[in-house]
Amino acid sequence: MAKLYFYYSAMNAGKSTVLLQSSHNYHERGMKTLLLTPLIDQRAGVGKIASRIGLTKDATPFKPEDDLFTLIHTLIHTPHTAPPLACVLIDEAQFLTRPQVEQLAKVADDLSIPVLCYGLRTDFQGNLFPGSAALLGWADNLSELKTICHCGRKATMNLRTDAAGKPIKE
């Protein structure tokens, strides 16, 4: 049975790197993946997932109003020569909506396709992102990716800074 996974962490833990490595592992075995990224995330350009270590891959951008179950269902039922879809990987999953998380759970349950979501758990004030809150409730498997703080301890919070690098607290 396929599952919905949520891999979360503080910023700069390597979530995008792990996502891209996971996709590579599937491709290396002749399996097809679908990479999704929210349209709001354009750090590397529209429809791109990029890691800080230089890995980049094209992805399908989605908007908050998009029905991800329908998108994936349509994709797997479109005639093509490629192998069947083996896995869906989503970057910046904190920007998912609650309905989209429910749609992804349906992808895992009804289409038997594993869905791996990577994102932040909370914002810089410790508040859950709506997508993360939904994933914490709906995911079959939760996994924290750990990173270290500038002080050398485990990072537990995100720090928002201005252009000069000074912390923003509000």
DSSP letters spanning 6-42: EEEESTTS-HHHHHHHHHHHHHHTT-EEEEEEETT--
Catalytic annotation, pick one of 28, 65, 92, 102: 92
Alpha helix (H) residue ranges in 4-151: 15-28, 68-76, 98-111, 130-138
Assess whether 92 carries a catalytic annotation.
Answer: yes
Please measure the distance between the N-terminal and C-terminal CA atoms of the chain and give it in whole angstroms: 43
Helix (H) or strand (E) holding 129: none
Dist CA 50 CA 45 (whole Å):
9
- The two tokens of residue 112 are 């038997």
Distances (CA, A) of 65 to 1, 31, 70: 28, 29, 12
Active-site residue set: 92
